[in-house]
Amino acid sequence: MSTCVTCSRPLRFQRRYVFESDAFRRIYKGREVYRCEACNLSQVDTARVDDAALTGYYREDYRNVGSAGQLTEATQHWYAKRAEALAGLVAEHGPPDIAAIFEVGAGYGHNLRALGELYPAATLETDEVSGDANAGRDGAIGRGELGTGKHDVVILSHVLEHFTDPVGLLERVAQSLRPGGVAIIEVPNDIDGIERLNGPDEPHLTFFEQPTLRALLERVPLETRALFAAGPDYTVSDTRRALRQAVRAVLYRVPVLSGVLRRRAARNVAALPEFAGENPRGVFLRAVLRKS
């Protein structure tokens, strides 16, 4: 049994872990979510996570399981709006002379492309990107690694909650930043009872709320400049909603209907207010960290 990923204190059973695939059952061999006795962070038993299998999962299975990371018109809108908001945070808190931007796990590249538009002279790098993020852009997004002290900006968008050692990851981010550089973090806001943002728990290993994220950030050699909830309102789960979602999941399997549903979802996302700014009922938690 592991101890807390933030403060190394003992964990207590909180609830069952909700899996979506057999692939992830082979990665997380526990079946529970625990809460830290001291800092309250919800998390899996990381001693029972197979690190090698986890790496393989992100390489091969992640975007094929359920709705995780699939690129539809609705998710395109969603990612683009989120990228705009994160780029806005960089403009507000970052150093004036931004030359090197790094994103850990860049997804389809939306965040880096939004930053590239704000800072056309800056280099854009990531350790991992899906699909053809550079399509039509002359290979603007390059490959790189953390930990060189050269980056003005490091982005971790929905990344922290996938790591068995989030403090270790943030220490590497700190090493990677030059003095005055900023790290922008976004994770799901996992308020108790909230409708799960990605359906089931999988593939998240930690479940942050504002106080538990703050406690983790205090362990890292970076100054927390901002920490707030943002994005569209979360909805608290209830039985009727769960039933509706189950019905929708079935309808999505019908080819003719799935096109209609996807177009409607895209319109709904397009109609959402901007993702920037604070919203205490927002589905995201955002943090800005600065290296002094």
Residues that bind Zn ion (CB under 5 A): 4, 6-7, 9, 36, 38-39
Nearest distance from C-beta of residue 169 to Zn ion, angstroms: 16
CB of 159 to Zn ion, least distance (A): 20
93: closest CA among 173, 180, 219, 179?
180
Q: Which residue number, 214 or 225, has a Cβ lying nearer to Zn ion?
A: 214
Encoded tokens for 114: 């939004």
Output the smallest distance, CB 187 to Zn ion, in A.
16
* Residue 52 burial by Cβ neighbours in a 10 Å radius (0-12, 13-18, 19+): exposed
- Identity of the residue, 36 or 133, whose beta carbon is nearer to Zn ion in the bound complex: 36
Beta bridge partners of 285: 187, 229
What's the Cα-to-Cα distance from 11 to each of 64, 85, 101, 191, rounded to whole Å? Answer: 32, 35, 36, 18
Question: CA 15 to CA 269: how far, in whole Å?
Answer: 31
For residues 98 and 75, is the Cβ–Cβ distance under 8 A?
no
- The helix or strand, by DSSP H or E, that contains position 281, with its residue range, turns out to be none
Nearer to Zn ion, 160 or 230 (CB): 160
Shortest distance in whole angstroms from residue 39 CB to Zn ion: 3
* Residues contacting residue 86 through CB under 8 Å, at least 6 positions apart: 111, 114, 155, 157, 184, 186, 286
d(CA 155, CA 88): 12
CB of 213 to Zn ion, least distance (A): 12
Judged by beta carbon, residue 98 or residue 220, the one nearer Zn ion is: 220
Written as six digits, the tokens of 245 are 């979602």
For Zn ion, the closer CB: 41 or 86: 41
Tell me which residue has tokens 């690694």: 145
Which residue, 36 or 74, is less far from Zn ion as judged by CB? 36
Closest CB 4 distance from Zn ion, rounded Å: 3
Q: E strand or H helix at 152, and its extent?
A: strand 151-157
Nearest approach, Cβ of residue 6 and Zn ion (Å):
4
Least distance from C-beta 216 to Zn ion, angstroms?
A: 8
Collapsed DSSP state (helix, strand, coil) of residue 130: coil
| Residue (39 or 74) nearer to Zn ion, CB | 39
Query: Which one, 36 or 222, has the nearer CB to Zn ion?
Result: 36
- Determine how many CB atoms are found less than 10 A away from the CB of residue 104: 23
Q: Are strands 177-188 and 282-290 parallel, antiparallel or unpaired?
A: antiparallel
